[in-house]
Structure 1
């Protein structure tokens, strides 16, 4: 291209257009993996499924299979099957003494009979009257995983007239660790992991319906309770009571559990070939318990990485919502514990 005073303007347009196309394209080629992963993660489908786990796994830099947990004691609620069962077995394999809880005695006794270093205690997290005796007679824990969760088809209330999912997964779990702390059953620097769900991403916190359920829809209720868990963990990390521990929430992605199959049969049927296995679902929980990396107390983790629990700022509960949530939990604690 010969530049002359007559085509200089054309030359400038040509060069500018060329670089406007070539430079972004060259940067994309240079960072292809980064941009491609970003796009796939934003799709949700190719992030929460097993292909997402395999992509993320390539960045993992700790081998947890060689950890030694002799003299460590763990508590896993809902630990007899699914993700909790897989986690309990791996913790026991690494040498930890593990107490698992669940509502089904027959299922729990069968589970511990076939695995070493495990003990079972029948415990319904929605039955708050059982919690005090359990905590008073517990061992001291280094690791606590709050995993128990179910999704009743119809509205179920506990003895205190609170919807079952909220009573067990939010209030019950909080009361459990509160009482363990009161009885000095949580060792210093213990890690407390709340197992939430990616299902809460599309749900804004509705504090009123958490505690006063007038209309029940199981999936919406589940998402609201899981959003409540994440919000509570964020607030706990600011309180002096929990300063000696690391309190963290996470979600495991879409995992092929019997609970998912029973609760969301259509979703399970459509997605069954894309769902993660139990070990993949338990991986980040195990990592959060054992990693030597610095963790952010109050943080929300997915596939060994801290992530935002909010699609946008509009999903972030307001100060007032957070205040009301803590206030209501404290009212129930004082009244029923």
Structure 2
């Protein structure tokens, strides 16, 4: 016949707290991993240039990378704090609601700690008393054994000389002494047993109080883990906002290539600075605009005798114009 397995004891409140804390930390570990991957994907996607783009705008690029990296760091560190081992002391139990521990007789954690301190001090005192009583009991037992031995010797001598009154008196005295020593030894042994029982009772009370304190510490640790997790969730929300802002900045950072400017035929009216820049003494030359802006077009002059072709920026506005530029009307098709 198979012996049934002993029943599994029900989980205590401390065990449930440990299980809850481990579950919270496992969730935080998963969320930290997921949160750390999001900015990496965002940065990788944003930094891949699309065809036709010509570099990045520096300020949005720097701000976008900084925002995304900061968001990732804040979120990961928030959840990493949930995983940090706790170091709790008695002072961390102040103000805690210990009614959550069923069956304990205390009103507050302060009451528990004060009672535990008193019981531990009393137990230490009793341990010292037992050492002293053990020494007294051993001494009393030694005196009893010696008195029993003296009584045996006196009885043997009296039996050898039954009419000797001195020996008879010695036997009577030895019997009285032995009885007194037996009583003293028995009293010392009973006192020792009583103190040992009292110490065992105090030890059990201290053990129970320490078990209650352990459960309260586990509850406090679970509360601390939960509080850190709630804070980490708030930080994660801020992290997502920072990452999203960084992605938006990275999205506007790429600069498109400037559109090609169609060539325009211009008439350049040269001042002295313009003639010197072109190395040409004519008052006006024709040129083709190939880029630049309206105030400083990039032109390529049409070569004429005495004025070779030259490509340059031809500013027409302040502070140092080379002259003026006017488009040559394109003849309409008939």
Q: Which structure features the higher share of helix residues?
A: 2
Higher alpha-carbon Rg: 2
| TM-score normalized by the length of structure 2 | 0.20
| TM-score normalized by the length of structure 1 | 0.19
